Amino acid sequence: MPWPAFAALGGDAASLQADQAEMNAGQTITAADAYQVYELQTATGTTIREYLSTAGTVFAVAWEGPTLPNLRQLLGDYFAQYTEAAQSWRGGHGHLVIRQDDLVVESSGRMRAFFGRAYLPQSLPPGVAISDIR
């Protein structure tokens, strides 16, 4: 199955449109000083937030809801890196942390209650705290 040319994490504003279309999701936008947050709601009730820097890069994504989101779509070019790194995870099935120089993924929860986020440490806009990504 072909994937859109755009990917979210590491992509540009156009990738957000691709996500919205792919996941058939509604969207709201809020603005902070250094970035905008695009919030999508999937048909299954999972909320997705995508963080777009003023420089035009999606530097973080977060999700919360009863099902996992389409992480291939959300992580884009980083999906393969994520799935490969996850093979070595031995912390149980209720939690996952991938912490690499250029990619951090944290996933938690279980069926009916998932939450997680992924971000690009080297692309965080100045002044953005990691705790702002939720």
Partner 1 sequence: MMRPLSRKIVIACLVTVFLGACGGGGGDSGSVANSGAGGGSPAAAANVLAITVDAGPSNFVNGLFTSVTVCIPDSATCQTVDHVLVDTGSTGLRLMASVLQLTLPAQTDSGGNRVAECAQFADGFTWGPLKIADVKIAGEEAAAVPIQVIGDPAYAAIPNDCVNTGPPENTVKSFGAKGVLGVGVFKEDCGPGCLSDGTGFYYLCPCQENMQSSALALDRQVQNPVAMFANDNNGVIIELPDVAPEGEVSVSGSLVFGIDTQANNRLGSAQVFKVRPNTGTFVTTYNNQLYNSSLIDSGSSVNFFADAAIHVCEQADLYAPGFYCPTPTLALSAEVKGTDGVSAILAFSVANAHTLFSNNPGHWAFNNLAAPDIISNSFIWGLPAFMGRPVFTAIEGQNTSAGAGPYFAF
Q: Can you give the binding site for partner 1, defined by CB under 8 A?
A: 1, 43-45, 64, 66-73, 79, 82-100, 106-117, 130-131, 133-134
Closer by beta carbon to partner 1, 56 or else 102:
102
Cβ distance to partner 1 smaller for residue 26 or 55: 26
Check if the beta carbon of residue 104 is closer than 8 Å to that of residue 118.
Answer: yes
Task: Give whichever of 87 and 122 is closer to partner 1, judged by the CB atom.
Answer: 87
What one-character-per-residue DSSP string does 39-59 give?
Answer: EEE-TTS-EEEEEEETTS-EE
- C-alpha separations of 111 from 16, 24, 63 in Å: 26, 21, 14
- Minimum distance, C-beta of residue 95 to partner 1, in the bound complex (Å): 5
Report in angstroms how near the CB of residue 56 gets to partner 1 at its nearest: 25
What span, in angstroms and rounded, lies between the C-alpha atoms of 89 and 96?
Answer: 7
